[in-house]
Amino acid sequence: MDATMIAPKLVEVPQAIPAKVYTSEKVGISRKTHDEHLKLWQGYANKTNQIRKALAEMTIDPSTANQIYSDVRALKADYSFAYEGLINHNIYFETMGGDGGPALDAVYAARTIAGLVGNHFTLNRRIDAFYARLDRALLCIEIVATLEGHTKTAGNSGNAITSFLQLPGTVAVLEPTMTAKDLLKPMSDADLETGFCSASLARQIRYQFPGFYESWPDDKLERVALEKYPEFQDRLCVLPVSLGVSPDDVVTYRLRPRTIVEWTILWSRTALITGLFAMALLNVYYRLLVPRLSA
């Protein structure tokens, strides 16, 4: 390296998971799950450092670059993926575990609430919030399945989207930013069919690159892919960027019959509102109209 070149600032590669994280075993997140995330965390940190070193050592010639390709642009594109993956896992492990309560600071709390942290609680929080709004509005909607959950149980043969679309109900998007007025975003079956989902990483890769890896055994293809892209460890789907969704966003839902309790609440609320309106009319009648008519 040139003596005048500024040395790149490297990120710290994590060597162990904070002890507090393992306390989440009591709520169902196993030690093995966290240990697998540690591998991803280390992979993102190592790739971040590798790209920073490559950028620092690179001799840049602007005359050879254009909007289609340049060495710097290629490294920067991969750098954004690696560094954002590192930041997400920093937030994940800072927030996970302990005795409950708020996250370490307002930034972590805000990002977690916004659904930007890719941890295992995000979907559950969204569904809980969704049902809370439905309970208030007394809407009778039942989530049948998520694309992520269905893919995990559908096996490794074929495209899980095909069997997902055969489930009862209607396909929609359960957005992290949903409001009571816009609970579900419609999605057409045809749009979803442009993607591919499988619990097998090898099948996903062959779908993305048809004809290139047909002769490779599944275990070899997955091993090589994970060595280069450790973030693929938990990937389940290859979805078009234009859809703007992830597998845990896509759900099927259906209307369900109201229970006796729900009907009771609905009619009680209707009767209460009607009674209050009648009392207001009677109050106006006896206070304003009756005295004038008597005069």
Distance separating alpha carbons of residues 123 and 288, to the nearest angstrom:
56
Q: pTM of the prediction?
A: 0.43
Structure tokens at 61: 């010639």
pLDDT band at 188 (very low <50, low <70, confident <90, very high): confident
Please report the pLDDT score of residue 44 as a whole number.
92
Burial of 213 (C-beta count, 10 Å sphere; 0-12/13-18/19+)? middle
Q: Which residue has the higher pLDDT, 119 or 83?
A: 83
- pLDDT of 161 reads 92
Q: Which pLDDT score, from 0 to 100, does residue 164 have?
A: 93
What is the per-residue pLDDT for 96? 77
Residue 31 has pLDDT above 80, yes or no: yes
User: Which of 19-33, 100-114, 126-140, 168-182 is modeled with the greatest confidence?
Assistant: 19-33
pLDDT of residue 163: 92
When comparing pLDDT for 185 and 125, which is higher? 185
Q: What is the pLDDT of residue 243?
A: 82
Name the residue among 49, 57, 39 with its Cα closest to residue 82: 49
pLDDT over 70 at 42, yes or no: yes
pLDDT at 198: 92
Q: Are strands 250-255 and 170-173 parallel, antiparallel or unpaired?
A: antiparallel
| Alpha-carbon separation of residue 112 from 90, 107, 182, 265, 274 (angstroms) | 12, 8, 21, 34, 42
In angstroms, the CA 13 to CA 42 distance is 6
Give the number of other CB atoms < 10 A from CB of residue 131. Answer: 14
Question: For residue range 226-250, what is the model confidence (pLDDT) as tens digits?
Answer: 988 888 888 889 888 888 888 888 9
| Averaged pLDDT, 162-182 | 76
pLDDT given at position 157 = 73
Rounded to whole angstroms, how far apart are CA atoms 102 and 87? 19
